[in-house]
Structure 1
Amino acid sequence: MDTTSIKNLFKLKSVPIEPKPEQPSSNEVDPNEESSEESRKRTYHESGYRDSSRTSGNHSTLSICLDAVYSKFQNEEKEMVEKQHQLKESYINEQKNRETEIKALTVSQETKEELLKTKNTEVENHQHTIETLKSEIIDLPRNPEKYNVKATRGASTKFWIGFILLFPITLYLGIFYISTSYSAFFKTFDPKSTVIQSVFDPQALDKALNDGFTEAAFVVLIPFVFLGFGFLIHMFGENKNRTNYIKLSLLLIVTFIFDVILAYEIETKKYDIEKTIESPQFDLKIAFTQNQFWEIIFAGFIVYIIWGLVFDFVMKEHKEKDKIKNEQEIRQKRIEFFQEKINVLKNEIEEILANIGNTKELIIKTKGRIEELQNIIDGVIIPTKDYKLYASEYVQGWVTFIGEKIAVSRTEKQNMIDGCIETYNTNLETVGANSDNQNLVYLSSL
């Protein structure tokens, strides 16, 4: 087998090498550079031929020789400063971009940390405000003037005292007017009864129920008339003006007249059963001279006035209490408002913390990539596709010697060549220059 045939056979078994995208095409290569490359190829070819002649084409020895070829190729690439610079240019550019990215991420992190600090300060301020509002809610009933609330201190205590007093007075008025109204309008006086029995009848309600629905309804409802008068005293007294004073005066006069009528009716019935033939006709002049007449009036009218004043006082205290309560409710709503703002701020803080964590992680990864790039830049980049080109030249030289100089049978010679090609492919796999990774740049730190 001649040399040309052996070369063609080797080429059919080798993998085609794609050109490196960043390198110029063959048309753009300078003639001097092309001559240098051809010279380099020839050197590797001759070395292969020479080494093969020394070992009689032994493919086991070829494996060791290829390791030496790879070391030689590394040293040659290391000395090619310009080529190394071109190979590292993309990594240098990436490193610069990564450094710029680090600066941007650092600024972003600092901005987020400042924002986080601001948000935390807002939360602390809102929490302080909430604590202040809670203290005010507790202190308002004791010191309303401290918070510019026009309410009387201790209004709650006065309110309950007045409310408790109001209950028995109301009960008294109900019993009194049920008894006096029944005695005045429906009761038939018994001459044998005592004076007290004539004025106050403890069974007035039962007797009115026995007399009929109308009588019972009248004596039960008439106390509410006086209670209504007392309520009007409070209403007219709220707005202090001349008109209301006139209305209040008229109301008191009407109530007094009503009580006078009740007392007059009772005294008239008593006088009629006690009078003699010589007794004059009963009139107001006589009524005014009767002690019991005035007792009935004052037992009703005076207590009614007291009820009206106590009721007015209770309502005013309730109003004072409402002022404080309203201020407390306002502060409670403000507490809820600030609490909602705190909840929103806490959610924002969690998002900011997550973003800061992601940014820090990205910075660490980017710094790690920069270190990797620096290792690449500091090391020697071995273009494995170029190694594959020169290694194939070396093996072709090795195989050429076998084809030309080894005197063995055709079959044995082919087996030797196949063994060399297998050793060659194994070497390519070892150094990472296999056909699946033709564009892979193999790195070596020398």
Structure 2
Amino acid sequence: MDTTTIKNLFKLKSVPVETPKEEETQKTETDPNSESAEESRKRTYHESGYRDSSRTNGNHSTLSICLDAVYSKFQNEEKEMVEKQQKLKESYVNEQKNRETEIKALTVSQETKEEQLKNKNTEIENHQHTIENLKAEILDLPRNPEKYNVKATRGASTKFWIGTILLLPISLYLITFYISTSYSAFFKSFDAKSTVIQSVLDAQAWSKAWNEGAIEGAFVTLIPFVFLGLGFLIHMFSENKTRANYIKLGLLFVVTFIFDSILAYEIESKLYELNKTFNTPDFDIKIAFTKIQFWGIIFAGFIVYIIWGLVFDFVMKEHRDKDKIRNEQEIRQKKVEFFQEKINTLKSEIEEILAAIGNTKELIIKTRGRIEELQNIIDGVIIPTKDYALYASEYVQGWVTFIGEKIAVSRTEKQALIDSSIEMYKASLEKVGANSDNQNLVYLSSL
């Protein structure tokens, strides 16, 4: 087997590599000096293979050790080629710079998000403080309304309920009183046994009036509400402190007094007629004014009516004040709900920011890990797998050339030695990561 045939067995397939390598290959092809150096280097490996094979008589068992030495030699040679290493490492250096720039951008992004997180936490604290103040104001408003510029009296709610409780029995009293007095004054017939109390307060006045007729029943039923309506007008006119309202208020008192006087006069007149003799003068207003019962009936109705009107006015005023306080409380409660919604929104945004910060930190860790990997590559020696496979094949070709030319054995034994050497060569390429599948890659060895 001649040398040309043996070389054809190891001819490597040309495969494109990374751009820096392509540029190096192109420079090698165009530069005569570089090409001469490459051929000289190939010849050196070929001669070394031939020489080592001669020393071991082509023993393929020692080829593995020899190929390890070849790899170490190639590695040292590549390490000494500073410019070539710089070219090979250039892409890694550029990637490292890009990664460092990326870390700076990620760090700025992380700091920005952390600042946003801090601001949003501050906002939440401020909102929570505002909510606490609002809740305190809601509780304190009924006790100190003037503190919050609310024109209402202190304890309005308590006064309102006290006034309401008092107003109910007074209203029942007025209804009972005016039903009885109106029935006694206009419809009841007195007898000699009737007393003043019985004349004014008749327990069956309402039922008797309805028994006598619908008009009588409706009259005595509705007349108390006339006085209650007059009492309501007292409240209405007293709300606006004007001269006209004061005049109207005075007229209401006069009308109520006159009506009570009429009732008292009618009742007293009927009682007077029961005891009248031939010498007794006719009953008139002068006589009525001298009767204690007359004034008793008036004041039993009129004074209580005034009391009812004043209590009703007081209750309505306290209710109005209570409404003012309640309105202020409702306003503050709505503000509490508004700020609580803002807090919930901020918490959702904070969760998103925390997730983004976590992702950013993870990216920074991964990027720093990649930078360390790149630094290890830059600090180490890059072994071009295609180049090593080329020179290793030259070495094995020299090894096999010796077997083909110098070893005197049968053709079959010689072919077996050659085949074993080729298998050992392929195994060595696999061992150092320079197999045919990885011809587009570079092998890294940190020294």
Could you list the runs of 5+ residues in structure 2 that have no partner in the other structure?
none
Where do 1:123-142 residues align within 5 Å?
123-142=124-143
Partner in structure 1 of residue 66 of structure 2: 65
State the secondary structure of the residue aligned to 2:203.
coil
- CA shift, 1:337, in A, is 1.8
The worse-fitting range, judged by mean Cα deviation, of 425-434 and 412-421 is 412-421
**For 1:27-69, what per-residue CA distance to the aligned partner results, in whole angstroms no more than 9, with x for missing partners?**
7531100110111111111111121222222222211111111
State the secondary structure of the residue aligned to 2:30.
coil
Write the distance in 2 (CA, Å) between the matches of 1:9 and 1:105: 53
**For 1:197-250, what per-residue CA distance to the aligned partner results, in whole angstroms no more than 9, with x for missing partners?**
122212212323433444333322221111111111101110111222222222
Write the distance in 2 (CA, Å) between the matches of 1:164 and 1:443: 98
Where do 1:113-262 residues align within 5 Å?
113-262=114-263
- CA shift, 1:336, in A, is 1.7
1:435 has 2:436 as partner? yes
- CA shift, 1:147, in A, is 2.0
- CA shift, 1:79, in A, is 0.5
- CA shift, 1:395, in A, is 1.2
Partner in structure 2 of residue 21 of structure 1: 19
Where do 1:34-433 residues align within 5 Å?
34-433=35-434
Contact 1:17-1:389 within 8 A present in 2 as well: no
- CA shift, 1:82, in A, is 0.4
Contact 2:183-2:220 within 8 A present in 1 as well: yes
**For 1:232-273, what per-residue CA distance to the aligned partner results, in whole angstroms no more than 9, with x for missing partners?**
110111011122222222222222222222223323333343
Contact 2:17-2:441 within 8 A present in 1 as well: no
Paired residue type of 1:343: N
Write the distance in 2 (CA, Å) between the matches of 1:116 and 1:20: 45
Could you list the runs of 5+ residues in structure 1 that have no partner in the other structure?
none
- Alignment RMSD (CA, Å): 2.0
State the secondary structure of the residue aligned to 2:389.
helix
Write the distance in 2 (CA, Å) between the matches of 1:309 and 1:197: 29
Contact 1:144-1:152 within 8 A present in 2 as well: yes
Paired residue type of 2:19: P
State the secondary structure of the residue aligned to 1:187.
coil
Paired residue type of 2:261: V
Write the distance in 2 (CA, Å) between the matches of 1:152 and 1:251: 28
- CA shift, 1:277, in A, is 4.3
Write the distance in 1 (CA, Å) between the matches of 2:70 and 2:262: 140
Assess, with a 3 A threshold, how the Cα gap between structure 1 residues 20 and 330 changes in structure 2: closer, same or farther.
Answer: closer
**For 1:143-174, what per-residue CA distance to the aligned partner results, in whole angstroms no more than 9, with x for missing partners?**
22222222222223322222222121111111
Partner in structure 2 of residue 2 of structure 1: 2
State the secondary structure of the residue aligned to 2:277.
coil
Contact 2:106-2:364 within 8 A present in 1 as well: yes
Identity %, equivalent residues? 81
Aligned residue-pair number = 444
State the TM-score, normalized to the length of structure 2.
0.93
Paired residue type of 2:229: G
State the secondary structure of the residue aligned to 2:50.
helix
State the TM-score, normalized to the length of structure 1.
0.94
Paired residue type of 1:154: G
Write the distance in 2 (CA, Å) between the matches of 1:21 and 1:139: 79
- CA shift, 1:358, in A, is 2.1
Paired residue type of 2:414: K
Contact 2:181-2:201 within 8 A present in 1 as well: yes
The worse-fitting range, judged by mean Cα deviation, of 337-346 and 166-175 is 337-346
- CA shift, 1:281, in A, is 4.2
- CA shift, 1:20, in A, is 4.5
Write the distance in 2 (CA, Å) between the matches of 1:116 and 1:315: 52
Write the distance in 2 (CA, Å) between the matches of 1:443 and 1:214: 120
The worse-fitting range, judged by mean Cα deviation, of 241-250 and 83-92 is 241-250
Contact 1:380-1:444 within 8 A present in 2 as well: yes
State the secondary structure of the residue aligned to 1:119.
helix
Write the distance in 2 (CA, Å) between the matches of 1:214 and 1:419: 138
Paired residue type of 2:387: D
Contact 2:235-2:309 within 8 A present in 1 as well: yes
Write the distance in 1 (CA, Å) between the matches of 2:218 and 2:180: 13
